[in-house]
Amino acid sequence: MDFTLSDEQQSLQETARRFAQTEIAPNAAHYDQAAEFPREIIKKAWELGLVSMCVPEAYGGVGLSMLDSCIAVEEIAWGCAGMATSIMCNDLGLMPILVGGSDEQKKRWLTECTSDFKLVSFCLSEPNAGSDVAGMQLLAERDGDHYVLNGTKCWITNGGEADLFTVFATLDRASRHKGICAFVIPRGTPGLAPGKKEDKMGQRASDTRVIHFDNVRVPASDQLGQEGEGFKIAMQTLDRTRPPIGALATGIARRALDESVAYAKERKAFGFPIGGFQAVQFLLADMAKDIEAGRLLTRQSAWMVDQGMRASKYSSFAKCFATDTAMRVTTDAVQIFGGNGYTKEYPVEKLMRDAKLMQIYEGTNQIQRLVIARELLKE
């Protein structure tokens, strides 16, 4: 087993790290406080090849492997988790096209996102169907060579900014997962309307909205796969996009550790730097140990995706472990900073707020445990 990053991977890591240090981190507090979408910064990331990373070279993309993407996402998230989510969820929006699209559809939609700066949203969750994907209500009714969509999606990342939406809808609610279809819908299609922006606890630089569908007519040629294949396209997408969520969480946790180590060296109590006390040392040691373990699980699951293996269990290991780690590490970072950590003058309270979302989106950590248990019982 060789854990060394290749020269190309080291150079990618360096590019993402420099971008995070110079463009993202210095602006993170502003976009967090203003809850503003940092379009110019995301555009610069796109110019560097750090957005739409998963698109193969054949469609004009940079063609990064999932492992490469995870290396870059960890660095970006070190700078700001909200910006990393905007970037990562764009790849999430593209993934159903890669998983279920025909070559013609890939050429059309993917090339559109690589030749110009365009963002994509993944529209799966609904007000009454978050964990229970098969219970979705957004209805797709066939009308000649079109489908007509009616209903609502929610918690849609990049919802107010996206140019393309990959949307899951059901032909028949009673058929549960067997009735679900996937579509690609461009912004501006009549009846598709982003709703109010959510006022979130953390990751406030990312744009999260409800999307309304009111008699949205979609050409049948813009369906990904066949009728009834949408559920599996969604599950196969999430198998591939949960490793980068592990990477994102690892980036948040690594930032919390970096801040904590620096503070522990400088802050004095009882006449000594607090890093000299075992109470603080043990917290730092546990942080470092769990971050490393989360990174290893993340890279292993990403490698499995790259090998074309079914990675459901390992992707859930990575997502669940790394995001629980981020929550614990950021909470401990606030503890190390004491009262200072609870104020907006220091960076760790943002990290703790940002970490909480990691345990909820892309499948709650309860759903990850369910996926793991089902895979174990099937084996």
Residues 215-244: x/- map of binding to ligand CAA (CB under 6 A)?
A: ----------------xx--xx-xx-----
Binding status of residue 154 toward ligand CAA by CB under 6 A: no
Residue closest to ligand CAA, measured at CB: 363
Is 157 near ligand CAA (CB under 6 A)? yes
| Residues in a beta bridge with 182 | 168, 224
Please name the residues in contact with 256: beta carbons below 8 A apart, sequence gap of 6 or more: 287, 326, 329, 330, 332, 333, 348, 351, 352, 355
The contact mask relative to ligand CAA for 304-323 (x = CB under 6 A, - = no) is --------x-----------
Cβ at position 331, least distance to ligand CAA in Å: 22
Q: How many CB atoms sit inside 10 A of residue 4's CB?
A: 7
Residue 375 beta carbon to ligand CAA: minimum distance, rounded to whole angstroms: 9
Q: Does 173 sit near ligand CAA (CB under 6 A)?
A: no
Residue 265 CB, nearest approach to ligand CAA (Å): 36
Q: What does the alpha-carbon distance between residue 77 and residue 376 come to, in Å, rounded to a whole number? A: 31
Phi, psi of 271 (to 5 degrees): 90, 0
83 binds ligand CAA per the rule CB under 6 A: no
Query: Is residue 371 a contact point for ligand CAA (CB under 6 A)?
Result: yes
104 counts as catalytic? no
The residue within the footprint of ligand CAA, chosen from 41, 67, 87, 89 (CB under 6 A), is 89
Give 169-173's long-range contacts (Cβ < 8 A, gap of 24+). Answer: 169/136, 169/138, 169/139, 169/140, 169/213, 169/230, 170/136, 170/137, 170/138, 170/139, 170/140, 171/139, 171/140, 171/141, 171/142, 171/227, 171/228, 173/136, 173/137, 173/139
| Binding positions for ligand CAA, 239-268, rule CB under 6 A | 239
Contact flag: residue 337 with ligand CAA (CB under 6 A): no
DSSP 307: T
- DSSP-derived letter for residue 49 is T
Least separation in angstroms between CB 282 and ligand CAA: 34
Minimum CB separation of residue 364 from ligand CAA in Å reads 7
Candidate list 53, 55, 98, 124; residue touching ligand CAA; CB under 6 A: 124
Alpha-carbon gap, residue 266 to 143, rounded angstroms:
68
User: Which residues participate in catalysis according to the annotation?
Assistant: 362
